[in-house]
Amino acid sequence: MKPMIRIFLGCLVFCCFAVQAAEFRTVEKTTVMYDGPSQKARALFIYGAGVPVEMVSSIEGWNKVRDAQGTIGWLEQSTLGHRRLLQVRQRAEIRAQPSDSAPLVFEADQDVLLHLDEAATSAVDTLTPGWARVRHEGGQSGYIRIDRIFGL
């Protein structure tokens, strides 16, 4: 194989993995999302504690983020933490085991927040491919399909 083709293919593979490795943070306290990196910018939304956001970029104490609905804006860096909460995208079933045929533990409505109950840092490194182990604030736990959540 020609060296240039090998380099191109290597870069292509690297870019594909880089796209999959999104970084998520959780809003730690009620905060305002702005349309620019300043408190003088236009306020877009107020987020309560626990909402997961995807990191897009950061500059001088501000993070440009994307929420579960796709809205992009700026949050003060001090309002974000590393806790892993996941937001249900659409009504979802939480199963006793990572299988659609496993017993149903509970159902979660859209926008419910769930704790990630495993050490995964992305959707590709969960213990069971396609599933994530989660826990509800009330103590119930089980497995949810990854395509039903935002924040992983």
Confidence category of residue 101, pLDDT binned at 50, 70, 90? very high
State the average pLDDT over residues 72-81: 95
Domain boundaries of the chain, sorted by first residue: 21-81, 85-150
At 21, the pLDDT band (50, 70, 90 cuts) reads: low
Instruction: Give the pTM.
Output: 0.79
Taking the C-alpha atoms of residue 26 and residue 83, their distance in angstroms, rounded to an integer, is 6
CATH of 85-150, one of 3.30.460.10, 2.30.30.40, 3.20.20.100, 3.40.50.2000: 2.30.30.40
What's the mean pLDDT in 52-59?
A: 94
| pLDDT, average across residues 125-147 | 91
Mean pLDDT of 49-54: 93
C-alpha separations of 5 from 12, 13, 23, 62, 114 in Å: 10, 12, 30, 39, 44
